């Protein structure tokens, strides 16, 4: 049995699979089910200061090689989310609280609340591709990324990760800005901005018209981003985008990721995908005589 335990900054995980933000993470019960399915940690839905309904449906559709979604950051607001965090933290799990804001003040307020509720780490969402005033609109400005990250880091004790988008000219530059702001890790990548038009209706299907593409199709983009970031940064990276198998996860690890996040893969391999991916990683590692996952992090750079 290979050792799958991993560390991201001070955060210790039994295995490197993490539930990505935005799926099965609106309530404690759903997150509990994901933990029971073998995830090493879960990231909450991205939470803002006030409740938001998000966009009308259609918000999610399947395409040939992935899913397109534009939820519009629906969330109950940080106050109402307290009981969900407290409830899930009653079981012994690693919880990463995802938050989105429009400026450093909002990020800090949300981060402080998440920390006080009991979150083990923070994920700053600077990468949602389809919400006005939030997400990648902030995460494509390296000055803002540095400012927000350092503002949150100055007052927060738990590790702070910054989730980035591939929808920028140079993701390395943005990641370096987060590192300069003292981020404890980078999460890459969020969904890729995309669109689907129905030719009978002659209009985009998603109510928001634009969405973010996830699933198998974006894996090569994610792997490339992680590889590029790993070349220039010293802080740990969490790889995300299109992971459905242990082999996919290993690709990300070899590109430089210390852990991986899984989201859309739940559709392709059911909810116990976390156990399946771990088993497959373990099998490959045994076959290749690798004892610890840390031996593989970033090996593709040699």
Partner 1 sequence: MNKPTITKIIKTQMETKDIKTLKFYYPGKMSPGQFFMIWIPGVDEIPMSASYINKEDKGITFKKVGAATSALFKMNKGDKIGVRGPYGNGFNIKRGKTLFIGGGTGIATITVAVEFAANKKFSSDVIIGVKNKKELFFENRLKKFINKVYVSTDDGSKGYKGFASDLTKHLLSKNKYTSVLTCGPEIMMKQILSACKDTQFQASIERYMKCSVGLCGQCCLGNGLRVCKEGPVFDGKTLKKIPEFGVYKRDASGRKIKFK
Among the residue ranges 8-16, 17-25, 126-134, 164-172, the one whose residues contact partner 1 (CB under 8 A): 17-25
Q: How many angstroms separate the CA atoms of 23 and 47, rounded?
A: 13
Buried (b) or exposed (e) across 235-271, using 16+ Cβ within 10 A? bbbbbbbbbbbbebbbbbbbbbbbbbbbbbbbbeeeb
Q: Which is nearer to partner 1, 87 or 172 (CB)?
A: 87
Let me know: does 73 contact 46? Beta carbons within 8 Å: yes
Residues 62-91 that bind partner 1 (CB under 8 A): 62-64, 67, 69, 71, 74-77, 80
Q: Which residue of 58, 102, 147, 279 would you call a contact of partner 1, by CB under 8 A?
A: 58
Q: Which residue of 102, 205, 209, 284 would you call a contact of partner 1, by CB under 8 A?
A: 205
Let me know: does 135 contact 146? Beta carbons within 8 Å: no
**Would you call 128 a catalytic residue per the annotation?**
yes
Let me know: does 17 contact 298? Beta carbons within 8 Å: no
Rounded to 5°, the CA angle 161-103-50 comes to 90
Reduce the DSSP state of residue 292 to 3 states and report it: strand
Among the residue ranges 45-53, 94-102, 242-250, 283-291, the one whose residues contact partner 1 (CB under 8 A): 45-53
51 binds partner 1, rule: CB under 8 A: yes
Please give the DSSP secondary-structure letter assigned to residue 191.
P
Q: Which is nearer to partner 1, 151 or 205 (CB)?
A: 205
User: Is the torsion defined by CA of 126, 127, 131, 132 positive or negative?
Assistant: positive
170 binds partner 1, rule: CB under 8 A: no
Residues 140-169 that bind partner 1 (CB under 8 A): none
CA-atom Rg of the chain in angstroms? 18
Among the residue ranges 26-34, 119-127, 224-232, 289-297, the one whose residues contact partner 1 (CB under 8 A): 26-34
Let me know: does 122 contact 8? Beta carbons within 8 Å: no
Please give the DSSP secondary-structure letter assigned to residue 52.
B
Q: Which residue of 45, 130, 193, 216 would you call a contact of partner 1, by CB under 8 A?
A: 45
Question: Residue 129 CB, nearest distance to partner 1 (Å)?
Answer: 16
- Residues catalogued as catalytic: 128
Using CB under 8 A, list all residues that contact partner 1: 22-27, 29-34, 36, 45, 51-54, 56-64, 67, 69, 71, 74-77, 80, 196, 198, 200-201, 203, 205, 207, 263-264, 266-267, 271
């Amino acid at each position: 049995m290979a050792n799958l335990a991993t560390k991201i900054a001070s955060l210790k995980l039994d295995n490197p699979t993490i539930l990505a933000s935005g799926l099965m993470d609106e309530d404690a019960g759903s997150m509990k089910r994901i933990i029971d399915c073998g995830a090493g940690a879960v990231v909450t839905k991205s939470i803002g200061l006030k409740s938001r309904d998000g966009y009308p449906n259609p918000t999610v559709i399947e395409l040939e090689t992935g899913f397109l979604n534009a939820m519009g950051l629906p969330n109950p607001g940080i106050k109402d989310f307290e009981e969900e965090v407290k409830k899930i933290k009653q079981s012994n799990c690693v919880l990463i609280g995802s938050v989105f804001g429009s400026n450093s003040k909002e990020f800090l307020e949300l981060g402080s609340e998440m920390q006080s509720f009991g979150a083990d780490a923070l994920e700053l969402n600077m990468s949602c591709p389809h919400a006005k005033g939030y997400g990648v609109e902030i995460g494509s400005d390296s000055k803002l990324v540095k400012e927000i990250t350092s503002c949150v880091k100055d007052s927060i004790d738990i590790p702070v990760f910054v989730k980035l988008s591939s929808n920028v000219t140079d993701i390395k530059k943005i990641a370096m800005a987060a590192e300069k702001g003292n981020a404890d890790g980078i999460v890459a990548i969020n969904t890729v901005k995309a669109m689907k038009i129905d030719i009978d209706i002659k209009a985009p299907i998603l109510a928001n018209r634009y969405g973010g593409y996830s699933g198998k199709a974006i894996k090569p983009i994610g792997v490339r981003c992680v590889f590029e970031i790993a070349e220039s940064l010293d802080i740990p990276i969490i790889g995300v985008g299109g992971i459905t198998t242990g082999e996919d996860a290993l690709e990300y690890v070899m590109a430089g990721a210390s852990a991986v996040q899984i989201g859309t893969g739940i559709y392709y391999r059911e909810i116990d995908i976390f156990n399946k991916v771990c088993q497959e990683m373990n099998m490959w590692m045994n076959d290749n005589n690798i004892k610890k996952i840390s031996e593989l992090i970033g090996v593709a750079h040699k």
